[in-house]
Structure 1
Amino acid sequence: MGEQRTNTKKTLLNLLIAVTILAAVIFLLLLLPAFVETTMPNDSYMIKITGLSDLAVNGTATVMIPVPANAEGELVIFESSSVLQPAGWRTAIRETPYGKMIAFTTTEDYAQDISRPTGEFETKEEPRLLVPALATPDNVSVAEFARSSGGTYTTVVFLDGFVSPPENATSISFDLEYRGGGGMKYLIEEDTWTATVNTAVSSTESGFVPVPAEYHVIPGGIHL
């Protein structure tokens, strides 16, 4: 009787071990594809500027907006790929007193709204935001601010060459959204950096106009 009970225990133990091994194998088979999966960090910049289509152009009109860059001012998209040309506009990277910016110029009689997504894979994982950065919270350096969890800072846009009498003034809306990083390797997801500008500027403005921007870091971690 005792021997039979011992054999039964051994059988149950062996069965439990077999089930455990089988469960472990199934778990590894399910986990392995995710473990070896690698996602390259991505840079995307959604550009949307509205309120331009009602404005007459005085010869040549120019709109300039901030550009994604790291804390040292190195561009993370537009120096390694061509700048996409929205309908009715010529686009280029232009040096300004505040640093590099994306410049849109047109010589048509009337301007058109600008809507253009851009993006590419990035090999680097480093904090980046929309620059120029004219002012940061507590006047910390741009590098220190970029390493923080985020906050509101000041960047700049530029308008010139539009005919907009004060009595017919309208608003030009800037909706800019940069998103970078977020790569994944061996189930470890990297940080994601976002910088946005959502503001309206009077069509009577001319020259550089400081505007608020939001910077936010989405922490990475283990991705299961």
Structure 2
Amino acid sequence: MERKKTRSILALVVTACLVVAAAGLLLIAPAFVETTLSVNSYVIEVTGLSGIPVDGTATIMVPLPVNTDGEQVMSEETFAEGQVEGWNVAVQDTPYGRMLAFTTTERNASDIFAPFGVGEHETKEEPRLLAPVLRTPDNTSLAEYCQVPDGAYTTAVFLDGLAPGPEDQTQVSFSLEYRGGGGMKHLVKEDTLTTTVKTVVPVTASGVVQVPARYQVIAGGVYF
């Protein structure tokens, strides 16, 4: 009698475990089959320009996202298709390498907000930087530098053709963010690769201005 009772209890425990396991699988199954595509986006915001007089043609240039071989990771068509009110957009060659140029002949400049590649999907998981890269710590190569998950380096922005008056002693703020990777498949998330510039320069600055940039890898992994 005692043995029969023990077997009944054991059967109930096993059944309960199977029910819990089945419920867990039902919860996990949708996430297991869900796929999130990798991103490949570059969001540019330059503020402090609004109302500043333009001397003929004003030009603002910002770095471009590249891989460690210096190759652009976003097509020129992506930038050419971008619509930025009051500004023309094009990739230009400079003595420091290719940069993304915003030009205007309007009487007064306006702030720039330009999200590029939002909705694009990345196919390669590789380090990305905003170039030109003028200086890395200890002048290491890009491939060697990108082996660390977090670090700072020096890039550049460019300003020309602005004619601020005595009352326009403001600062121009640059907020640049490239984001790539971050896709998920079968509960495994890729690394997210980011490079950002968050800096301000005087509105009176002219020509190339060296600015700090930050490279960071946000580790992926298995997510339940």
Query: What's the TM-score once normalised by structure 1's chain length?
Result: 0.91
Taking only aligned residues, the RMSD between alpha carbons, in angstroms, comes to 1.8
- Percent identity for Structure 1 against Structure 2: 52
Question: Counterparts of 2:87 and 2:148 in 1: how far apart (Å)?
Answer: 36
Deviation at 1:55, TM superposition (A): 1.8
Q: Is the 8 A contact 2:79 2:89 kept in 1?
A: no
Partner of 1:210: 210
Matches within 5 A, 1:8-157: 8-79=5-76, 81-83=78-80, 84-118=82-116, 119=118, 120-157=120-157
Q: Is the 8 A contact 1:38 1:185 kept in 2?
A: yes
Query: Could you say what secondary structure the match of 1:127 adopts?
Result: coil
Deviation at 1:146, TM superposition (A): 2.0
Deviation at 1:70, TM superposition (A): 1.4
Question: Counterparts of 1:79 and 1:187 in 2: how far apart (Å)?
Answer: 34
Structure 1 gaps, min length 5: none
Comparing 118-127 with 132-141, greater Cα deviation is found at 118-127
Q: Is the 8 A contact 2:52 2:168 kept in 1?
A: no
Comparing 31-40 with 105-114, greater Cα deviation is found at 31-40
Q: Is the 8 A contact 1:40 1:121 kept in 2?
A: yes
Q: Is the 8 A contact 1:166 1:204 kept in 2?
A: no
Question: Counterparts of 1:90 and 1:167 in 2: how far apart (Å)?
Answer: 27
Residue 11 of structure 1 aligns with an amino acid whose one-letter code is S
Q: Deviations over 1:60-110 (max 9, x none)?
A: 111100122211222223446244121100001112222221110111111
Q: Deviations over 1:110-155 (max 9, x none)?
A: 1111012222221221111211111111211112222211211100
Query: Could you say what secondary structure the match of 1:197 adopts?
Result: strand
Deviation at 1:207, TM superposition (A): 1.5
Residue 52 of structure 2 aligns with an amino acid whose one-letter code is L
Greater radius of gyration (CA): 1
Structure 2 gaps, min length 5: none
Structure 1 runs of 4+ off > 6 angstroms? Answer: none
Query: Could you say what secondary structure the match of 1:25 adopts?
Result: helix
Query: Could you say what secondary structure the match of 1:81 adopts?
Result: helix
Query: What's the TM-score once normalised by structure 2's chain length?
Result: 0.91
Query: Could you say what secondary structure the match of 1:45 adopts?
Result: strand
Q: Deviations over 1:140-197 (max 9, x none)?
A: 1112222211211100001111213578543211111222211111211111122111
Query: Could you say what secondary structure the match of 1:94 adopts?
Result: strand
Question: Counterparts of 1:69 and 1:26 in 2: how far apart (Å)?
Answer: 46
Aligned residue-pair number = 221
Query: Could you say what secondary structure the match of 1:147 adopts?
Result: coil
Q: Is the 8 A contact 2:196 2:213 kept in 1?
A: yes
Matches within 5 A, 1:181-220: 181-220=181-220
